Amino acid sequence: MTTDPLALFNDWFAQARASEPNDSNAMALATVNTAGQPAVRMVLLKGHDASGFVFYTNKQSRKADDLRANMKAALLFHWKSLRRQIRIEGAVSTVDDATADAYFASRSRDSRIGAWASDQSRPLADRSIFEARYTALVAQFEGAEVPRPPHWSGYRVAPESIEFWEDGTHRLHHRRLFTRAAAGWNEGILYP
């Protein structure tokens, strides 16, 4: 068994990509607003390395508002087919423009135009308003590259703790907790 939580994450994530029928990179993102109200929603992991776990969103969305107020978040991966989950908690930072630009350019053209058309998380009086805006932007960008909107970027959660949970018979689960230390990671186990 590895004592490196990032290597263990890579191993479990590879197994999830092979076994999960849909969105093996889906993760719950929990944030807290200025009033202390928590919120959780599903986002997609779009990159990870030793510096953290990256997702992208509209910087005017509710999750981005929460992150501006409190630059900490929690992530949860749950892979039902493997009967495993991973919880990650840590500080959040925005990715640099070059990283955001590169990921944005890899998205489908329709998704890039959708990022311009959507006022994510804001009330929408009627779906036809959004569809008309999208259609107008398709015409506006016809024959041209679709650049990353200034209100769209990525966030990186730098892990301070990572917990690996495996289902056990009779609810006698296996839990390993890694916490960041000056020289790497401390490891312990938790009661089920």
Task: Just list the catalytic residues.
Answer: 171
3-state class (DSSP) for residue 103: helix
What is the Cα–Cα distance from 103 to 90, expressed in whole angstroms? 22
Task: Confirm if 27 and 76 have CB atoms less than 8 A apart.
Answer: yes
What is the Cα–Cα distance from 116 to 135, expressed in whole angstroms? 11
Tokens 């925005």, located at residue: 94
What is the Cα–Cα distance from 86 to 22, expressed in whole angstroms? 17
